A and B are shown apart, each in its own frame.
Chain A
Amino acid sequence: MFLSSPSMIPQLFSIQNIKNETRDTFTLELVSPDKLNISFHAGQFMMLYVFGIGEVPISISGNPTKTTKLLHTIRAVGTVTKQLKTMKRGDVIGVRGPFGSHWPVDESQGKDILIVAGGIGLAPLRPALLYILAYRQRYRKVTLLYGTRTADDLLFLSEIEQWRARLDLDVYITVDRSSKEWRGNVGVVTTLISKATFEPSKTVAMICGPEIMMRFVSVELQRCGVLVENIFVSLERNMKCAIGLCGHCQYGNIFVCKDGPVFAFPKIQHLFGKREL
């Protein structure tokens, strides 16, 4: 029966490592005691189950070319995610997945790539960037635009330093509010678009962040000449089953859990700004 398919039954994974990224965000490194490998596509998510508390959808933030461990970068906002933050090395959680659609990294070969992240949105985009960097010669210009609230909210700091040092990747970072020590850009992420150099008609843009940010970024990109069908965004909606059964994430004929979370912009433009049903 469908309900007993593996996608409904959590597998046990143990926490091998926990890295605090910022005040409220952390990365969990999960491994399967049964040495299960998880192969996934950049942009897909897993359902993480804390026993007795609940289950939450969380994107995979690890490298799709390395499948021995699962990485999730999580912001503690509510019941389940706050509980996950208290967990220790060796603790066990339930994991279902991977679920959903993915960033069009293979389809974008030969194009300029623009990765635009806002806040925690860098986590679901990190696998796309790592994949593209693993096959760097297949792409033209690759640019990361990343905006956060303050410099203290920047994720993957040491990795960003390595990315910045690469000659084959342009990295632009901005913060909404600066401190005295911050010497970089100040202003929202949309202000970075005019600073970056890319060929709009040959660009694929992958955007992840708060919906309002994705909305403004996509308008700005279209104004610069990026084709609307080459703009991809990742949507967040409340989820329960993650396989298109329960209807929690449904809008008309679209299920965010299985048709998304990554969508070509024209397909979901009408959902932007809609409240959860």
Chain B
Amino acid sequence: METLKIILAEHPFFKDFEAKHLDLIAGCASNVKFNPEKFLFREGEEANKFYLIRSGKVAVEMYGTERGSITIQTIGRGEILGWSWLIPPYLWHFDAHAIELTRAIALDGKCLRKKCEKDSTLGYKLMKRIAYIMENRLQATRLQLLDMYAATE
């Protein structure tokens, strides 16, 4: 638990979090490892975790019967994966699978949600950080949709 707290404290996502909040969060954290091709989650399943990726690479995908799996984004070291745990109905919108051996810290969303309800300062802080990541992803997705490198025919 102490080592988890140190890892969390060093992660940019938890920068400036108070020690008591880090304690609360570390109580919901565990070390996890995914071998290549192993799924972290699948679309439609209950979203009760999010991940701080420590090493390796994860592909976020959608599956369409006509086109098969389409990778939308890859997430690597230092990045955060998953926010569906914070927003009802708490279901994953995408599939995510490890492309390489991936080590991460998994945070139990259910456990965190309860703590956030009890401690609104913690809840607000977490919400702000997650909102920031969501905004970043939204901008990146927009650029992707714009097809900005395409040549004009």
Contact = CB atoms under 8 A, between A and B. Distances in A.
A119 B149 contact: yes
B148 A118 contact: yes
Interface centre among A77, A149, A174, A180 (most CB of B within 10 A): A149
Interface string A96-130: 00000000000000000000001110000000000
A83 to B, nearest CB: 16
Interface string B77-98: 1110000000000000000000
A194 B68 CA distance: 29
Interface size range of chain A in the complex: 20 to 34
Interface string B35-77: 0000000000000000000000101000000001011111011
B134 interface: no
A195 B78 contact: yes
Contacts, number: 67
B146 interface: yes
Contacts of A119: 148-149
A258 B149 CA distance: 26
A209 B71 CA distance: 23
Contacts of A195: 76-79
B73 A187 contact: yes
A188 B143 contact: yes
22 contacts: A75-B151, A148-B149, A176-B147, A177-B70, A177-B144, A183-B99, A185-B57, A185-B74, A186-B72, A186-B73, A187-B73, A187-B74, A187-B140, A188-B140, A190-B140, A191-B140, A194-B78, A195-B77, A195-B78, A195-B79, A213-B143, A216-B143
Sort A-B residue pairs by CB-CB distance and give the 10 closest, nearest first: A119-B149, A188-B143, A187-B73, A149-B149, A178-B71, A186-B71, A186-B74, A210-B148, A185-B74, A176-B144
